[in-house]
Structure 1
């Protein structure tokens, strides 16, 4: 049926190849907590990763078997999935992953690229970028914008000890001295250099 609604993306692969690809992406995501791939692959892998984490939250034998069927290296990753990741998302009702669009990975084909990451983890990019924005605003003596305020609320809402962890990250960013470098660059540009 031409033009009909598709339940999922085909990704130009047959069924077995597509399933293997998605299992590999989700295994890498659980192992590394962030992966860089094309945007359509990231969106499809996000669906499978959300289901996998929902199974982990149930923490019963059926959920373990389903997770074992998805992951390629279950002996390595099941303890992480049913331990650290399950505890991290125990209070979160959904939305365990985030897809961020990026510049194309490959200059040859210019395919739309994306980063698929687990939220509230050590590699959470929104958390780090919001902390950098807050550190910059504090160094310049500016008020936070509405968007920054919303991002602060989002990144601290479900994170354990979210405000303390966020202030710690802001302190680390301030310790890097990035604000001074930025002010020097702005000062150099203002003098006609």
Structure 2
């Protein structure tokens, strides 16, 4: 039937190749907590990664066997999946991953690029970007806009010790004094470091 509903992206691959691709991306995501790929691949990998973390939260023998069937190197990654990641997302009801659109990887390949990352981890980009925005607003003496306040609430909501970790990151980024006019020591009347 023409115009039927497609339940998933085929990614221009046959079934076995598509499964191997998604398993490889999920394995890399669990190992590195952040993966750069194309946007359609990231969205399909996100579906499989969410299911894998839900299996880890169940923490029984059946879920361990299913997770072993998904990961390419289960002997290396099962302790991390059923240990660190399970504890990190124990109180979170869902939404363990985030897909961020990025610029194309090269000017010759104009395909949509994306970063697939685990939220509330050490490589959480939204956490770092929100901390940088808050630090910039504090340095310039401006009040935070509603989007910054919403992002601040989102990144600290389920993170253990979230507010303290966020304040620490704001201090760390504020000490770097990144970006904008007046950021360098020459602009503030200080002598350059020799």
What is the TM-score of this pair, normalised by structure 1? 0.93
Q: Which residue of the partner structure matches residue 56 of structure 2?
A: 56
Q: Which residue of the partner structure matches residue 122 of structure 1?
A: 122
> Deviation at 1:109?
2.4
Whole-angstrom CA distance in 2 between matches of 1:115 and 1:51 = 19
Does the aligned pair in 1 maintain the 2:118–2:124 contact within 8 Å?
yes
Whole-angstrom CA distance in 2 between matches of 1:122 and 1:182 = 29
Whole-angstrom CA distance in 1 between matches of 2:96 and 2:69 = 20
Deviations 1:94-121 (A, max 9, x none): 0000000000113222110000000000
Q: Which residue of the partner structure matches residue 144 of structure 2?
A: 144
Equivalent residue pairs, number: 186
Structure 2: gaps spanning 5 or more residues: 188-194
Whole-angstrom CA distance in 2 between matches of 1:182 and 1:80 = 43
Secondary structure class of the residue paired with 1:159: coil
Deviations 1:136-184 (A, max 9, x none): 00000000000000000000000000000000100110111216x6425
Higher helix share: 1
2:179 is equivalent to residue 183 of structure 1: no
Whole-angstrom CA distance in 1 between matches of 2:62 and 2:169 = 38
Secondary structure class of the residue paired with 1:178: coil
Output aligned runs, 1:33-72, within 5 Å: 33-72=33-72
CA RMSD of aligned residues (A): 1.4
Whole-angstrom CA distance in 2 between matches of 1:83 and 1:33 = 14
Whole-angstrom CA distance in 2 between matches of 1:26 and 1:120 = 17
Q: Which residue of the partner structure matches residue 166 of structure 1?
A: 166
Structure 1: gaps spanning 5 or more residues: 189-193
Does the aligned pair in 1 maintain the 2:177–2:183 contact within 8 Å?
no
